[in-house]
């Protein structure tokens, strides 16, 4: 018999630290981007970001320890290619990229990044025409629930279907909103997707630890100020002004809060049923912009 673990002990969020804003899918002139590393870091620093991860395509970025960047810059790479079953992916790797080059095979990249404590994000699954079965095959740490440029340019930037279908099999999969910024003239340099990480400090180790735990949320606009659990299974969230809130579960399970005449609300609560295999929160503002929590409960192992 499995030991019962309460929802409170499995609850993912600890909002006792500070919120730090980050963009984790960014390209520079080292590959397919239009801005240099210095220009890119300045762009995000001026926009109020606290950190970015530079993920040039097939070109690893390892920060210069002597460089004076205006924000925290994490090492990264975006790789693309086929796995040993012939499925084609784009994968964003956050940290853990030592020894990886543009020639490293996809499956070997996945193995090395995981072994070195990095984070593997299944990038824009709709744009890449990936199936859910392909996504759960490699047990990526997370998936892009929203890719701003893929949505603007191709109409294929939404990953919620792939995320929810994967969560049925992998209930700890995390959701990432990204820019996939290239800074090229044909596509606007919109700061359209980011993550907000709750951590005790702005350091590489603290940010990576919180991302691994899933102690962050993703957004294209609205803000979660806090997400907590009380009375055993009551989920409470404080937010920026929004008009819709949704507790999303597996298949057709959901709960909904809306406002009359689209008047803004800044607090909402839901009872989380014991028999839901997973649940995540979504909030939406009057402009149709959305923020996504990660699955609220850590898996039972």
Range of the domain at 260: 222-301
Q: Are 202 and 20 within 8 A, CB to CB? A: yes
Does 132 share its domain with 40? yes
Q: Is residue 120 exposed (0-12), middle (13-18) or buried (19+ Cβ within 10 Å)?
A: buried
Residue 52 in any domain: the answer is: yes
Report the sign of the C-alpha dihedral through residues 55, 152, 29, 107, in that order: positive
The CA-based dihedral angle spanning residues 11, 15, 21, 22, taken in that order and rounded to the nearest 10 degrees: -30
83 and 193 together in one domain: yes
What confidence score (pLDDT) does residue 5 get? Answer: 87
DSSP H helices in 59-147 = 106-115, 132-137
* ∠ Cα 223 300 278 (to 5°): 45
Can you give the pLDDT of all 301 residues of the chain as single tens digits?
Answer: 456 789 999 999 999 999 999 999 999 999 999 999 999 999 999 999 999 999 999 999 998 888 899 999 999 999 999 999 999 999 999 999 999 999 999 999 999 999 999 999 999 999 999 999 999 999 999 999 999 999 998 999 999 999 999 999 999 999 999 999 999 877 766 679 999 999 999 999 999 999 999 999 999 999 999 999 999 999 999 999 999 999 999 999 999 999 888 899 999 999 999 999 999 999 999 999 999 999 999 987 6
| Residue 111 belongs to domain with CATH number | 3.20.20.140
Identify the pLDDT of residue 188.
64
Do residues 99 and 34 both lie within one domain? Answer: yes
pLDDT for 1:
47
């Amino acid at each position: 018999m499995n030991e019962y673990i309460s929802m409170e002990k499995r609850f993912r969020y600890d909002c006792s630290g500070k919120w730090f804003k980050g963009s984790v899918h960014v390209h520079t002139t080292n590959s397919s981007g239009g801005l240099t590393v210095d220009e890119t870091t300045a762009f995000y620093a001026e926009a109020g970001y606290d950190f970015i991860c530079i993920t040039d395509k097939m070109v690893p970025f390892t920060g210069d320890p002597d460089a004076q960047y205006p924000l925290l810059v994490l090492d990264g790479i975006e790789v693309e290619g086929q796995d040993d079953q012939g499925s084609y992916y784009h994968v964003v790797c956050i940290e853990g990229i030592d020894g990886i080059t543009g020639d490293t095979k996809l499956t070997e990249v996945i193995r090395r990044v995981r072994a070195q404590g990095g984070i593997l994000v299944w990038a824009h699954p709709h744009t890449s025409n990936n199936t859910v079965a392909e996504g759960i095959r490699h047990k990526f740490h997370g998936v892009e629930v929203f890719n701003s440029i893929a949505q603007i340019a191709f109409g294929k930037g939404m990953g919620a279907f792939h995320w929810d279908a994967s969560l049925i099999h992998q209930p700890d999969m995390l959701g990432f909103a990204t820019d996939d910024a290239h800074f090229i003239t044909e596509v606007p340099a919109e700061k359209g997707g980011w993550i907000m990480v709750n951590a005790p400090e702005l350091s590489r180790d603290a940010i990576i630890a919180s991302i691994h735990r899933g102690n962050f949320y993703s957004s294209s606009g609205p803000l979660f100020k806090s997400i907590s659990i009380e009375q055993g299974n009551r989920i409470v969230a404080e937010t920026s002004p929004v008009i819709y809130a949704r507790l999303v579960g597996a298949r057709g399970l959901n709960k909904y809060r809306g406002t009359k005449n689209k008047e803004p609300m800044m607090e909402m609560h839901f009872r989380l049923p014991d028999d839901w295999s997973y649940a995540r929160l979504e909030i939406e503002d009057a402009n149709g912009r959305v923020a996504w929590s990660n699955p609220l409960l850590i898996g039972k192992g």
